[in-house]
Copies of this chain bind each other. A is one copy, B any other.
Amino acid sequence: MKIAVIQFEPIFNQKDKNLSKIHSYINNIDAQLLIFPELCLTGYYFLNREEVNEVAETSNSDFIMELQSLSSRINKGIVLGFPEKDYKKQYNSCCVILPDENKSRIYRKTHLFYKERFCFDPGDSGFFVIDYPEWDVNIGPMICYDWRFPESARTLALKGADLIVCPSNLVTNVWQSALSTRALENNVYIAVSNRIGSETRNGETLLFNGDSTIYDYKGNVLVKAGPDDEKVIKVDIEPKKTRLKSFNEFNDIFKDRRPDMYKIK
């Protein structure tokens, strides 16, 4: 199975331009699953709920329906971050659109970063995993700052994820070794799709650091983009290899767990 991560610079509040670029990528990249950055439909740095509300999409909007048609027609999966609205609620979401539309779902970011709390509600989708038999893969999404909490990737892995997809708009570098650890400690692939460029609002500039990376299930970097280049990185993965959680005759990193000894509250 071939996956691709698309690192680019979405333009703030220019949905049509961004969407046109996204469609072009989807049509031209030769891979089964395409992973785009967080909020790449609209750009990132909203200041309040009203700004988000003006550009947010519902789960049955034309934007989603068209991606679904395209996905089904060309048999490619699409993971892509966008602002979602649902009645009075607003979420920092990503769609996981798969050729079989019955499998497509939307993940709503669980852990909100920085000023996102003024724009979005905390996600209520929870961490879920989509099994996709055609490609023999189990896909689990998380978004950006979710990386900071080992429980995010752990929850996805315990629910069966082989591949964690992580659309991001990262503004630091500390995530890099941590996401390698998340891959290692769970024995899963992780694909981080980060954006590049910067956005300035009210005199504050956020610089997005690129370095999009696909890690193998031992935490090794398989392929990595640069810090500021528009780039597509691709790699073949073998999802089912992640399912063997033992690493010697006696140890299995899942069976060895002792949940009664763990405190999470």
Contacts and interface: CB of A to CB of B under 8 A. Distances in A.
Contacts of A115: 250
B158 A263 contact: yes
A257 B151 contact: yes
Chain A contact residues (Cβ within 8 angstroms of B): what range?
Answer: 35 or more
A37 interface: no
A221 B2 CA distance: 36
Interface in A215-232: 218-219
A262 interface: yes
A114 B174 contact: no
Copies of this chain, how many? 2
B155 A114 contact: no
Interface stretch (A44-52, A71-79, A95-103, A180-188): A180-188
A20 interface: no
A261 B155 contact: yes
**Which 8 pairs from chain A and chain B are nearest by CB?**
A150-B150, A181-B181, A151-B262, A155-B263, A178-B181, A259-B264, A259-B265, A177-B177
A49 B87 CA distance: 63
Given A115-B250, A150-B185, A178-B185, 10 more contacts: A110-B258, A114-B251, A126-B261, A145-B256, A154-B262, A154-B263, A155-B262, A158-B265, A174-B219, A177-B181
A130 to B, nearest CB: 16
A21 interface: no
A63 to B, nearest CB: 26
Interface string A142-164: 00010011111011001100000
A114 B151 contact: no
Nearest to A177: B177
Contacts of A248: 114
Contacts of A258: 110-111, 122
A199 to B, nearest CB: 17
B155 A150 contact: no
A152 B111 CA distance: 22
Contacts of A262: 151-152, 154-155, 264
A17 interface: no
